[in-house]
Amino acid sequence: MKILLPFLLALSTLPAQAEIYKWTDANGKIHYSDRPQDGVDAKVQPMQGVQATSSTAAAKDDWREREQASRKNWLRQTALERRAASQEESAKAKQEPYYPSANRSNNAMSDEELCTRDRQQIEYAEKTKHLSITHGGNSPQRLTEAQRQEVILERKTNHALTCGSGRRH
């Protein structure tokens, strides 16, 4: 460790253009030096990560600038998303609510239209596990499974009377 520390300190003071030589002795031990040894096949090692002190300071400033730019972009993107959500909410608020009674016609339904509507209501009640019914403008009331089956049976009975064998004339 005592030998390695001065070596590392010497390496840190080398200019950026310095070369490091590496060779292996007869015992298989690896050596490093700033000068090639006589009679040994020394190879020049590439200098990775060694920079002058002024460029090191510039590298530190570079990541700080990138971090700052990243934060600005994130803030800008967040503000754009909030603005888009706000615009969607205001557009929904301006939209006219749907009132089914306003879209109804005063014309009587034909028998075919009545049967089609009844069939659709039966299919919907059979497919929907959690059926709710509204009475007289009150809040919707969620039906139990027994109540749902009762509604389906009632609609099928009415449909059979209206559209089936007991059809009215």
Interval 54-71: pLDDT, tens = 555 555 668 888 899 999
Contact 162, 112 (CB under 8 A): no
Q: Where are the domains of the chain?
A: 19-50, 51-93, 109-163
Please choose, from the candidates 6, 43, 46, the residue with its C-alpha nearest in 3D space to the C-alpha of residue 22.
Answer: 43
Predicted confidence band of residue 169 (pLDDT cuts 50, 70, 90): very low
CA 126 to CA 153: how far, in whole Å?
Answer: 10
The DSSP element (H or E) to which 80 belongs, if any, is: helix 53-94
pLDDT at 44 > cutoff 60: yes
Interval 62-115: pLDDT, tens = 888 889 999 999 999 999 999 999 998 888 777 776 666 665 677 788 888 888
pLDDT at 164 > cutoff 80: no
CA 158 to CA 166: how far, in whole Å?
Answer: 9
Predicted confidence band of residue 165 (pLDDT cuts 50, 70, 90): low
